Amino acid sequence: MFGVFIEKGAVNIHMNLLYGIGFVTALLIALLMTPLVKRFAFWVGAVDAPNHRKVHNRIMPRLGGLAIFIAFIGAYFVISPAIDSLKNDVVFGLLVGGAIVVLIGAFDDRYDLSPKIKLLGQILAACVVVYSGVAIELVNVPFGDGTISLSWLSVPLTIFWIVGVTNAINLIDGLDGLSAGVSGIATTTILVLALMMGNTTVVLLCVVLLGSIAGFLFYNFHPAKIFMGDSGALFLGFCLATLSVLGFKQATVVSLLVPVMILGVPLSDTFFAILRRWVNNLPISVADKSHLHHCLLQLGFSHRTTVLIIYGIALLFGSSAVLLSYMSEQQTLWGAVILVVVLLCILVLGAEAIGIISKTRKPVLKFLNKIRMKTMQLSDRSRVSK
Binding residues for Mg(2+): 170, 230
Binding residue ranges: 170, 230
Plot region of 258 (φ>0 → left; ψ -120 to 50 → alpha; else → beta): alpha
Distance CA 51, CA 58 (A): 10
- Cβ atoms 179, 134 nearer than 8 A: no
Tell me which H or E stretch contains 308: helix 303-329
* 304: three-class secondary structure by DSSP: helix
Query: Which DSSP symbol is given to 51?
Result: -
Shortest CA distance to 188 belongs to which of 208, 162, 214, 206?
Answer: 206
- 147 beta partners: 140
- 140 beta partners: 147
Query: Which DSSP symbol is given to 224?
Result: P
- Cβ atoms 73, 58 nearer than 8 A: no
Residue type, 352: E
* 285: three-class secondary structure by DSSP: coil
Q: 200 CB contacts (<8 Å, ≥6 apart)?
A: 15, 83, 85, 86
Distance CA 128, CA 76 (A): 19
- 149 beta partners: 138
Q: 99 CB contacts (<8 Å, ≥6 apart)?
A: 69
Distance CA 155, CA 26 (A): 32
- Cβ atoms 30, 211 nearer than 8 A: yes
- Cβ atoms 212, 74 nearer than 8 A: no
Residue type, 312: G
Distance CA 358, CA 365 (A): 12
Distance CA 207, CA 220 (A): 19
